[in-house]
Structure 1
Amino acid sequence: MNMTTVTKGLSKLVLRTSVALPLLLAPAVSVTVLEAVGVSGSFAQAQAAEQKTRKTPAMRESAFKYLGKAQEAAEAQNFQGALAALKEMEAGKDKLNGYEAAQMYYFYGYVYYSMEKYPQAITYYKKVLEQGEENLPVALEVGTLLTIAQLYFVTEDYKQAVNYLNKWFAVADNINADSYALRAQAYYQLGDNAKALADMNKAVSMFEQEGKVPKENWYGLQRFLYYDKNDYKQVTNILEKLVKHYPKGEYYKQLAGMYGELKREDDMLHMMEAAYIAGALQKEKELLNMAYLYMGAEMPYKGAKVIDKGIKEKKIERTSKNLETLAQAYQMAQELQKSIPELEAAASMSDKGDIYSRLAGIYLDLDKNDKAVDMGAKALKKGGIKRPDQLYIVLGMANANLKKYDDSLKFFKKALDDKRSEKFAKQWITFVESEQEREKQLAM
């Protein structure tokens, strides 16, 4: 029986990953596991393509019968039966040539791999390599090195994974981007960030040069490794690619943060706005930060709308501080009528009188002197005012406008106690006393 017949006869073997491979080629490790680290499912098969030839002993019919029996059992998922057939074959291993022994150990490795007994699989795949180059087709040797590396990766023995990957790199002819990505992951797990970054950069570069979009988690590891180096420009470049190719709210937020680090305020605002529109800002702190950005960029009305919507959706707590910020945004937007109710609600919830004091000033500016006096009284009742002298000035002016001169003078005289308001208070006292005297003269 010739080699072609053997290969065809054994090529029916199908891994649980649904990838059909000839027995001559080492099987791929679980596609699910490898795809989780950004390695494509066809990686192992692609790497195993034989590019070199090597003269090896032929497989005899007697050995083929044992392997065929083991294959039949394996296809039925009767792995114990497959192992029994292989042990029967191994009992006469003294009669096997090196190539037949290699195929036997290879099949052992495959069966243990199928049983998810990875340490045993590794042991037998190593026995394949022990048969020596003269007994191994190039593809079998190269593919087995890669399979062992992958199995070490799956079992989280990253030191050995790197060891066998390096051996494989030394003999493989068709190393591709997935190859570098896998080794980058292993180096990263070992804490060798410099080598991990070099390999991941190579993987990304190879894909991009071919006009392909690198895998999302390749960019993710690349971004992390540059961030670890405080290379914010590179992190920003990678995040810009992630936003373009894998648009997610989380990437918008991270890119906005990087723009902030680089003092690119306009870009930061635009990216945060994109995150907000995408619904990625859900936490109170995030929404308030968005509002502050709008306010700082002289777009206070947009900021007010963010806070107002957040409060209505119960994503922003209706606290005195948050209502005060909302009122401030409306004030900056010249929307005093919308600002006042929010400020009054904030004042009623506050344990200090400062907000009532601000309201008194606003009502004075609106020429609503009675309301100014009322708010000032509430402020004084609550206490804890940072600048009582300013409130005294407001109350003095409001009472003067109402022609309540005695009350007006009382508040202006209280303001004299603070040097910051002393000069202004004296001017108003002079004015109020003159008005009071003038009205007395008119009344006579």
Structure 2
Amino acid sequence: MSMKSLRALTLALVAAGCLTVAHAQNVRPEVGKPLQAASELLRAGKAREALAKVREADGVGGKTAAEQLMIDRMKGAAAQRAGDNGTAIQAFESVFNSGKLSGSEQAQVAETLAFAYSQQRDNAKATQWANKAQQLGASSPQLKQLQAYLQSQSGDYAAIAKDSAAAVSAAEQAGRRPAEDDLLRLADAYQRTNANAAQSATLEKLVSYYPKKEYWSALLGRLPRKPGFSDRFSLDVMRMKLATGNLSKTEEFMEMAQLLLQDGYAAEAKTIVDKGFASGALGTGAEAERHKRLRDLAIKQDAEVRANMEKNIAAATAAKDGNELVRIGSVLASMGQAEQGATLIQQGIAKDALKRPEDAKLRLGQALAANPKTKAKGQQTLRSVQGTDGAADVGRLYAILAGQQ
């Protein structure tokens, strides 16, 4: 084989990733010529013809170890592109076991074998080679995806949870946003292993790092079913559904407006009804007149609340406990008067003797977060809310939402 031909073959095979320059320089013409032809056929997209040429080279007698390694590399590449995974596996395993590969080459070949075995649906072998590739330093996104797929196929959700949790933790400790796929796999693994609390915590991370409507929907749908979650936070769940684009049905607008009116949030109820009419969820169909009556009631109650506000504030200030000050302050905040609302809530908290101190802290956090000047303080307050009845959960989610608005 001429030096020019050998150089062309060397460059072609190196470019194709089939071998190193050092390996390509020890080849006889009777081996090199069909390999060169195979390389050219591969570049032309003729993988099966290339594989036939490689077999021609393989038929030469007395091959050296270097020649056999070159043949096996090219055979693996041609077979893989031809869809002959069985031959590719045989060739690449021979390459891997040759003892002639550098550490990075071993990692690359092991990864190739993992994908080849997965194409053969031999998940056990694919997993074996994928793990070996990882141990040798391979870390491509494609390998990680393959490992995640193989784990899911194995049904070993405990292992999936462990690996995904480690990936999420490593990203957070490095100051990076965890990969969305890792969080999704973790949430799914926790769901399949009935680790409900861990799943909810993972969904919180999802909405924090990737605030998509569907992730918020999944989290808010689970929240009311959490053991011990109090019905008094049903309105808060609806508020968060509205804020995340997950409240759109006629009955949802109706229920939310009615709950707001019952709790004294007439201005907010009026806003919700107006949104319902604007979206077409209210004001149409057989219940259209009922919707209009609800709007009229919201308008009437809003006017009454505003007319009596100063008198009610004075009465709440004179009261022995701070419960009414907290309630009125929360109402004012919902009317867009966040600063005055926060002040009243703080006065109510200072009086002490509150029926639900953590609820008061929750409402204070909301009011502070609604004011751009005190948003950070509001988020901090919301995260500090304690309790096992849903107050702490609602506080954390309000804090997340405040950071996204």
Contact kept, 8 Å, 1:188 with 1:196, in 2: the verdict is yes
2:173 corresponding residue in structure 1: 209
Mapped to 1, the partners of 2:285 and 2:90 lie a distance apart of: 67
Residue aligning to 1:219: 183
Q: Identify the residue that residue 233 of structure 1 maps to in structure 2.
A: 197
Give the length in aligned residue pairs: 294
Distance 1:165 1:114 in 2: 20
Q: Deviations over 1:64-95 (max 9, x none)?
A: 44333222221222324322321221222x43
Query: Relative to structure 1, is the Cα distance of residues 125 and 253 closer, same or farther in structure 2, using a 3 angstrom cutoff?
Result: same
Q: Is contact 2:32–2:57 with CA below 8 Å preserved after alignment?
A: no
Tell me, yes or no, if structure 1 residue 101 matches structure 2 residue 96: no
Measured after TM superposition, the shift of residue 217 of structure 1 is 1.9
TM-score between both structures, scaled by the size of structure 1: 0.53
Bigger Cα Rg: 1
- CA displacement, residues 290-316 of structure 1 (integer Å, 9 cap, x when unaligned): 546655764354345434543553345
Note if 1:87 corresponds to 2:55: yes
The code of the aligned residue for 1:313 comes to S
User: Structure 1 residues 177 and 77, CA, compared in 2 at 3 Å: closer, same or farther?
Assistant: closer
TM-score by length of 2: 0.58
| 2:162 aligned residue (186, 198, 201) | 198
Q: How does 1:275-290 map to 2 (within 5 A)?
A: 275-284=241-250, 287=253
Q: What is the identity, as a one-letter code, of the residue corresponding to 1:145?
A: A
User: 2:15 aligns to what SS in structure 1?
Assistant: coil
Task: Tell me what 1:73 maps to.
Answer: 41
SS in 2 for 1:11: helix
How far, CA to CA, are the matches of 1:148 and 1:292 in structure 2?
62
Q: Is the 8 A contact 1:57 1:98 kept in 2?
A: no
In structure 2, relative to structure 1, the CA distance for the partners of 1:299 and 1:155 (3 Å cut) is farther
Could you tell me which amino acid in structure 2 is paired with residue 81 of structure 1?
A: E
Partner of residue 297, structure 2: 331
Partner Cα distance (1:150, 1:231) in 2: 32
Partner of 1:110: 77
Contact 1:232/1:258 (8 A) holds in 2 = no
Alignment of 1:34-433 (within 5 A): 59-62=26-29, 63-92=31-60, 94-115=61-82, 117=83, 120-130=84-94, 133-138=97-102, 139-153=104-118, 157-169=122-134, 171-173=135-137, 182-262=146-226, 263=229, 273=239, 275-284=241-250, 287=253, 291=257, 294=260, 298-315=264-281, 318-320=284-286, 324=290, 327-328=293-294, 331=297, 334-335=300-301
Segments of 5+ residues of structure 2 without an aligned counterpart are 304-405
State the Cα deviation string for residues 399-432 of structure 1 (Å, max 9, x = none).
xxxxxxxxxxxxxxxxxxxxxxxxxxxxxxxxxx
Q: Distance in 1 between matches of 2:120 and 2:296?
A: 59
Verify the 8 A CA contact 2:106 2:136 in the aligned structure 1: no
| Residue number in structure 2 paired with 1:372 | none
- Counterpart-to-counterpart distance in 2, 1:301 and 1:196: 48
State the match for 1:23 in structure 2. 18
- SS of 1:95's equivalent in the other structure is coil
Separation of aligned partners in 2, 1:178 and 1:260: 38
Describe the superposition over 1:179-198 as per-residue Cα deviations: whole angstroms up to 9, x where unpaired: 56642331112221111111
Contact 2:190–2:196 (CA under 8 A) maintained in structure 1: yes
Q: Which runs of 5+ in 1 are unaligned?
A: 14-21, 26-54, 338-444
Matched-pair identity in %:
22
TM superposition shift of 1:280: 4.4
